Amino acid sequence: MALIVDLIGQGVQMLLVVALAPLMLGITRKVKAHVLRRIGPPVWQPYLDIWKLLHKEMVLAHNASWIYRTAPYVIFGVTWVAAALVPTYASNLMFSWSADLIVIVALLAAGRFALALAGMDVGTAFGGIGSSREIMIASLAEPAMLLVVFTVALIAGTTQLSTIAENFIGGEVGLRVSLGLALVAFICVAIAENARIPIDNPATHLELTMVHEAMVLEYSGRHLAMIEMAAAVKLVLYFSLLACLFFPFGMATADKSPEALAIGGLSYLGKLAVLAILLPIGETAVAKMRVFRYPVFLGGAFVAGALAVFLLFVSRSL
Amino acid sequence: MRSYAFDIAHLLAGGMVVLSFLLLYQTRITAVLNVFALQSIVLSLSVAWQALIQDAPHLLITAAIALVLKGFVIPAALHRIVQKLGIHREIEQVYGGGPTMLLGLGLVALSILLVLPSGQNVSLLVREDLAFALSVLLLGLLMMITRRNAVTQIVGFMALENGLVLAASGAKGMPLVVEFSVAFSILVAFIVFGVFVFRIRERFDTVDVSNIDRFRGGRGN
pLDDT at B173: 63
Instruction: With CA atoms as reference, report the closest residue to A248 among A48, A15, A88, A52.
Output: A88
Distance CA A24, CA A16 (A): 12
Residue B182 lies in a domain: yes
Residue B145 clears pLDDT 90, i.e. is over it: no
Average pLDDT of the segment spanning A236-261: 86
pLDDT at A318: 47
Range ranked top by mean pLDDT from A292-296, B28-32, B121-125:
B28-32
B127 Cβ under 8 Å from any chain A Cβ:
yes
Residue A311 clears pLDDT 90, i.e. is over it: no
The larger pLDDT score, comparing residue B54 to residue B120, is at B54
Report B:21-60 residues touching A (Cβ under 8 A): 21, 25
pLDDT at A243: 92
What's the domain count of chain B? Answer: 1
Distance CA A296, CA A291 (A): 10
Asked whether the beta carbons of A246 and A282 are under 8 A apart, the reply is no
A193-207, A276-290, B54-68: which has the minimum mean pLDDT?
A193-207
A73-77, A174-178, B34-38, B137-141: which has the minimum mean pLDDT?
A174-178
Residue A145 clears pLDDT 50, i.e. is over it: yes
Residue B221 lies in a domain: no
Phi/psi zone of residue B118: left (φ > 0), alpha (ψ -120 to 50 degrees), beta?
beta
Scored b (16 or more CB within 10 A) or e, B135-153 reads bbbbbbbbbbebbbbbbbb
The boundaries of the domain holding residue B36 are 4-117+129-216
User: Can you state the percent helix, strand and coil of chain B, rounding each to 5?
Assistant: 80, 0, 20
Asked whether the beta carbons of B63 and B22 are under 8 A apart, the reply is no
Residue B123 lies in a domain: no
pLDDT grade for B219, boundaries at 50, 70 and 90: low
SS3 A218: coil
pLDDT at B95: 63
Contacts of B112 in chain A (CB under 8 A): 310, 313-314
Average pLDDT of the segment spanning B95-120: 81
Average pLDDT of the segment spanning A58-75: 92
Average pLDDT of the segment spanning B117-125: 69
Contacts of B7 in chain A (CB under 8 A): 174-176
Residue B104 lies in a domain: yes
A-chain residue closest to B22, CA distance: A300
Residue B186 lies in a domain: yes
The larger pLDDT score, comparing residue A234 to residue B131, is at A234
Q: Model confidence over A32-59: pLDDT tens digits?
A: 999 999 999 999 999 999 999 999 999 8
> Distances from the Cα of B120 to the Cαs of A307, A315, B194, in angstroms?
24, 15, 44
pLDDT at A26: 94
Alpha helices in chain A (DSSP H): 2-35, 45-54, 66-85, 101-121, 125-156, 161-170, 177-193, 212-215, 221-246, 258-285, 294-317
pTM greater than 0.95 = no
Asked whether the beta carbons of B210 and B148 are under 8 A apart, the reply is yes
Residue A181 clears pLDDT 70, i.e. is over it: yes
B124 Cβ under 8 Å from any chain A Cβ:
yes
What residues pair up with A100 in beta bridges, in sequence order?
A: A160
A221 Cβ under 8 Å from any chain B Cβ:
no
Amino acid at A105: V
Residue B108 lies in a domain: yes
SS3 A100: strand
A128 Cβ under 8 Å from any chain B Cβ:
no
B-chain residue closest to A314, CA distance: B128
Residue B124 lies in a domain: no
* ipTM of predicted complex: 0.77
Q: Model confidence over A87-120: pLDDT tens digits?
A: 888 887 778 788 889 999 999 999 999 999 999 9
